[in-house]
Structure 1
Amino acid sequence: MQLPVEAVAATVLIEVVRISALPAKRGVPYPGSAVAHWAGIEAADALALIENLPGSEQHRCGFSPGWSVRAYEGSLDLALFEAAFCFRCHEVRMHGTTVPPALATQFFDADTPPAQALLTLFRSTAP
């Protein structure tokens, strides 16, 4: 999976969100509870895991993401990007100031070890 290179380099904090609903429109944050914050090596490892998700073809489920990550630079003001993951239809939707249109919708193979490791990581943050 491709992430915005400049944003990855600038990321100092990742916020993990357990999504509770779809946003009212595209381009706004996904509603839900922040369940974890990763910085330093945790953030770098999570980004590397996401970047190593193998591509896939589109599956149909209606896009019902359960988790998202929001990447922040040092100021922590505005997210560089948010990536919402649907492990049923294998789709990732990204938005943010650093996300070019070509990266906004991508597909990953949710049945591979990297995807299952990411899902396990997400689930380990749930209260």
Structure 2
Amino acid sequence: MQLPAPAVAVTALIEVVRISGLPGRRGGPYPGEVVGHWAGDEVGEVLDLVESLPGSVRHRCGFSPGWGIRAYGDDLDLALFEAAFCFSCDEVRMHGAAVPPTLSTQFFDAGAERAQALLARFRGAAL
């Protein structure tokens, strides 16, 4: 999977979001509870894990993401990018000022070991 490289380079904090629905407007934040934060070395580990997710093909489930991340720079002002993961249809949707249209919708193999490791990290953040 490909993330917006300029934003990845300056990400200082990641919010972990337990998504509860779809945005109310195009490009709006995914609603849900922020269940954890990753900072320091965890930021690089998680972004490396996301970038290493193997690709997949489109599956139809209606896109019902359960987990998401919001990446922030040092100023912690606006999110650099947000990514919502649907582990049912293997789809990731990203948006934010740093996300070019070519990266906004991607597909990953949710059954792959790396995807399952990411899902375990999401679940662990919610404890």
Say yes or no: TM over 0.5. yes
Structure 2 partner of 1:37: 37
Runs of 4+ in 1 over 2 A off after TM superposition: none
Opposite residue 55 of structure 2, the aligned amino acid is: G
After superposition, residues 61-72 of structure 1 pair within 5 angstroms as 61-72=61-72
Task: Tell me if structure 1 keeps the 8 A contact 2:37–2:125.
Answer: no
Structure 2: which 5+ runs fail to align? Answer: none
CA root-mean-square deviation? 0.6
Q: Which residue of 1 aligns with 2:54?
A: 54
SS in 2 for 1:83: strand
Once residues 24 and 73 of structure 1 are traced to their aligned partners in structure 2, the CA distance between those partners, rounded to angstroms, is: 25
What is the CA-CA distance between 1:63 and the residue it aligns to?
0.2
Contact 2:19 2:31 in 1 (8 A): yes
1:93 aligned partner: 93
Amino acid aligned to 1:101: P
Conserved 8 A contact 2:60-2:89: yes
In the other structure, the counterpart of 1:21 is 21
Query: What whole-Å deviation, never above 9, does each CA across 1:17-59 have from its counterpart, x for those lacking one?
Result: 0001111122000001100111110111000000000010000
Secondary structure of the corresponding residue to residue 54 of structure 1: coil
Measure, in 1, the Cα distance between the counterparts of 2:74 and 2:44: 14
The DSSP-based 3-state class of the residue aligned with 1:93 is: strand
State how far apart, in whole Å, the 1-side matches of 2:70 and 2:81 are: 6
Among the aligned pairs, what percent are the same residue? 68
Query: Could you tell me the TM-score, scaled by structure 1's length?
Result: 0.98
